[in-house]
Structure 1
């Protein structure tokens, strides 16, 4: 048996219950990880609330199909399936599972959704990497096709995805302009941004500078903003359903290269992020750390959309 946060219905963090459940079985291509830390992401509260509604066709129409919430984790492998080739028991790993199950003492995941933790790293910082780090990396490199010397605008530069995007873009040789609130300008500059626009002092929807690539990690840019500022763009999220539908319809009839995507967990990209961390080129910034018993409070905090860096939840107080 193990402890896990269970959701039997859709709703806010208050519907989560810490219960004793069966430890997951290990499939032939899976690894069983003892979880030492998690991080919270917007996807967690979207899944928890069943919003937007069409997502329920994947996660369960009337009630959640998968009872245990959580995507990001870091921990130690305690068992491997018979077909697993990349890992062995005792390996320290980090990864994500968008099928849920990570907010628990143990999680069973395909080996292709994990990577080994870099030397010198700890569980808390590596649990903060998977969803946000992969989203930032794939927005910039996989879909954004960023090359050295290009200029990048990162909207939402102080948040979970944005703070990784600033560092990754700099690591790949870009000139980076970040967009954040005034209170986060110094934070974004400390990440390596060459310039920071405070959206509460300058209206980003009227900003006229041109960039090779525009990344929207905040989810509030319109198609006209991309046309005005970007040679190409990548959008990660949306503020409203109307905004999403409008942008996707305009994207369909536009010649502007604009990608909307959901990050894919894979060992190759996780290994790249691990290398960048080991080399000191990116560093996860943790704003708040909670006990695993406070996972509902952590989700409430990130739902307010004012996070600077990442929020993590710790399952063990042992040295990592």
Structure 2
């Protein structure tokens, strides 16, 4: 069986040989696992950060990579319920090496994929979708009628966060992006084109109950403070765009002063689970949420395709999600 694997720590875009197609074996499944034949995969910034070392990663080299995936169940463990051989599924299978022809993953991270999308479209949802949902619903404690500000509305997470905020009943959704038409089409009430506008200028007296940062940078945090309502929550999946060692003292300081300034600050990593995937599947099948794909054609299942795949996500200019097809439908 073949898998796109990481051969060492480095930059997939500039270090030759970091991403290689190698032969691997599939471990026997455990009672709580399923074996999936991969159809499409998608990656997120966390995937390349685990390779460059920006986020610590355990294990020796070579090791398999990937996070978002769609495919078909080909074997189920003895204790697995609710999934059967032949089911079309999607999963946030980070650290399970889904960028391979087959892989095993805990059944609790897998759900049946939406019936009205392709495998490539299904692979665009899991990690980005769970991140957006958990940021707004769980960390941001978003309620119906809240005003929501999203930094980076055209990216993989932001494009779903706009749609989720609308489904969850936001009164006003403001986002930052140079892709104004895209974000408005997803449900944003106001789009701040960061190339020539500022949030403060564009929103006037509007105050926000939830600020969700998908971009990073100290400027996003400072601007957020200027437009947040009393008791609001600032949620980031990026922080200030610095290393974890530098971000930790900043995080501790913000958590210390938040009570004095009457706001909440949270930075978090997504928790994979099938329940959130069930929720997302329902919204997609109801037509309330749609996939946002960056490219018309997925990247190819090859070593060259894998390198180009990582190069694309590392550029940071994708509009929506990018995918790679492992096996044609």
Instruction: Settle same-fold status: TM greater than 0.5.
Output: yes
RMSD, aligned CA? 1.8
Which of 30, 48, 52 aligns to 1:49? It is 52
Give the 3-state SS of the residue equivalent to 1:44 in structure 2: helix
1:85 aligns with 2:81: yes
Q: Which runs of 5+ in 1 are unaligned?
A: none
Distance change in 2, residues 1:307/1:243 (3 Å): farther
Which of 267, 270, 277 aligns to 1:270? It is 277
2:242 corresponds to which residue? Answer: 240
- Between the aligned partners of 1:292 and 1:258, the Cα distance in structure 2 is 40
- Between the aligned partners of 2:238 and 2:82, the Cα distance in structure 1 is 32
CA shift for structure 1 position 205: 7.6
- Between the aligned partners of 1:77 and 1:284, the Cα distance in structure 2 is 22
- Between the aligned partners of 2:200 and 2:145, the Cα distance in structure 1 is 25
1:287 corresponds to which residue? Answer: 294
Give the 3-state SS of the residue equivalent to 1:310 in structure 2: coil
CA shift for structure 1 position 203: 3.3
1:194 corresponds to which residue? Answer: 189
2:180 corresponds to which residue? Answer: 185
- Between the aligned partners of 1:246 and 1:189, the Cα distance in structure 2 is 37
- Between the aligned partners of 2:173 and 2:91, the Cα distance in structure 1 is 27
**C-alpha deviations, 1:214-251, integer Å up to 9, x for none?**
00011124543332222212111131228734641332
Output the TM-score relative to the length of structure 1. Answer: 0.91
On the 8 A contact 1:24/1:106 being kept in 2, the answer is no
Task: Indicate the larger mover: 291-300 or 35-44.
Answer: 291-300
Q: Which runs of 5+ in 2 are unaligned?
A: none
Which of 216, 221, 232 aligns to 1:219? It is 216
2:42 corresponds to which residue? Answer: 39
1:143 corresponds to which residue? Answer: 139
**C-alpha deviations, 1:228-281, integer Å up to 9, x for none?**
222212111131228734641332212221111111111111100000100111
Which of 172, 176, 180 aligns to 2:173? It is 176
Distance change in 2, residues 1:308/1:223 (3 Å): closer
For residues 256-267 of structure 1, what are the structure 2 equivalents within 5 Å?
Answer: 256-267=263-274
Output the TM-score relative to the length of structure 2. Answer: 0.89
- Between the aligned partners of 2:161 and 2:301, the Cα distance in structure 1 is 27
